Amino acid sequence: MPETQPTRMKTGAKLSRAVDAESPAAPPSRETENALIQRILRGEKELFYQLVRPYERRVYVMAFAILRNEADAQDASQDALFKAFKYLPQFRSEARFSTWLIQVTLNEARMRLRKNHLEIMRPIDEVEQEDGSYTPRDFTDWREIPSEALERKQVRELLVQALASLAQKYREVFVLRDVQQLSTEEAAEVLGISPGAVKTRLLRARLMLRDFLAPGLDGAWASPSSPPKGTKPWS
Amino acid sequence: MVMKCEEMWLEISNYIDAEVSPALKGAMDQHLAGCRQCTAVLDGARNVVRLYGDEKAFVLPANFYPQLHSGLVDRVEGARGQGRAWILAIAAAILLTATVLVAGVRDRDTPQLRAAMARPATERIKGLVVAADDTKVFHVAGCGYIHGTPRTMPAEEAIREGFTPCVRCLRELVERSAWNSATMDNDVASKDPAMNLD
């Protein structure tokens, strides 16, 4: 239709400009964000890209932590962002947009996991009783690891491997609290559990990760891909 | 307050998040000062929090942003297009319905007739016809379907008396009537008063 073509091209160009920037922008203030949402709901749909750009990385990390696979996490990120666009009218401004977006992503990743029947591969300790106690298995002194160490692929892979070894309920809490930096209350709301349960799971997650990583990251491991047998609670 | 290692481990996470009371924190600090194992556990847990909290811990796949953006733009545009497609579909349906209705009305006004005999009469049958009282049907002279006692009379009179045309010879009746009209136009009727039925 000749009449509509220029309009579409104009919108397309506007959208392209809106998403051209690769680096994530800093999250805006809550008031600015709410105003942006209102404008999107009134029809300025191209502003949606501006709204989600600061959180795209967090969306991917959330999806990756659950799915443990880059390709699935990328697809889930796109699905989650599209669902956020679709269901934006349902967003209640009492919550932070970022928290709501993370919740949408978590649900999307869980759904994908169920669809792929990946939950049958969950670690054995997932079915264990949940209680607050956890006895550390490793008392190796762990010197502070400089942030620069994360530039080494080997170290990053080790972190991913350690995170993947956690049961999903611990992994979810740990990622929400220590990676996404949500508060205990926000994490509890996202997961639909009590703040006390969040604290309990977080304690176990941190200590299990510590046990997994301590011997490797202080230089004791010869090969980071396989922790020495007998040094891990589950080895 | 003296704490055991097991009690320490339960609170390590809250200690890192500074979510312990001042009294508990004091007791934990006191324990940590003399316990190398608990210090190792605390340092390790702190390292975990710090490392995973660092943005560099997770590297995005190559071309993550361009792929995400192009896919998202397509889907958001697609969602808008779907909305427009619905409007177009509804408009097309309305247009189609209106066309069908208008065509139906026009069809009723001017029906397409299949045969010449089915068309409404544009002029009355003229000339002499043969009427049979028994059947109340009038014919063209020589029609093979005349039954009863035949009586010749003008077509108009036969119609007036309630006779109807024979469907077998109606075509010939109409043709003869047309011929009669043409001959009357040529003033033939004036020469033959019997043919003047008006």
Chain segment B141-157, per-residue pLDDT in tens: 888 888 888 889 888 88
> In 3D, which of A43, A21, A39 has the Cα closest to residue A31?
A39
Residue in chain A lying closest to B40 (CA) = A141
Output DSSP code: residue A175.
I
How many helices, marked H, and strands, marked E, lie in chain A? 10, 0
Tell me which chain B residues have a C-beta less than 8 angstroms from the C-beta of A147: 50, 54, 56
Q: Do A141 and B43 touch (CB under 8 A)?
A: yes
Instruction: Locate B175 and state its tokens.
Output: 């043709």
Q: Which residue has the tokens 């995400």?
A: B68
Helix locations, A42-129, DSSP H: 47-52, 56-67, 70-86, 97-115
Q: Indicate the SS3 state at residue B150.
A: strand
3-state class (DSSP) for residue A88: helix
> A112: which DSSP letter?
H
From the number of C-beta atoms within 10 Å of its C-beta (0-12, 13-18, 19+), residue A102 rates as buried
B66: closest chain A residue by CA: A22
Nearest-Cα distance to chain A for B57, in Å, is 6
Is the CA virtual torsion B151, B155, B156, B158 positive or negative?
A: positive
pLDDT 10s digit of each residue in chain A, 235 long? 333 344 443 444 454 444 444 556 677 788 888 898 999 988 888 888 889 999 999 999 999 999 988 999 999 999 999 999 999 998 887 888 999 999 999 999 999 988 876 555 555 444 455 566 677 776 666 666 777 777 788 888 889 999 999 999 999 999 999 999 999 999 999 999 999 999 999 999 999 999 888 776 655 443 444 444 444 433 3
> pLDDT tens digit string along A69-93?
899 999 999 999 999 999 999 888 7
Phi, then psi, of A103 in degrees rounded to 5: -65, -40
Model ipTM value: 0.77
CA gap B167, A83 in Å, rounded:
75
Under 8 Å between Cβ of A74 and B68 = yes
Strand order in the sheet with B150-154: B150-154, B128-132, B137-139, B164-165
**Closest residue by Cα to residue A109 from A157, A159, A156, A74:** A74
B88 CB within 8 Å of a chain A CB: no
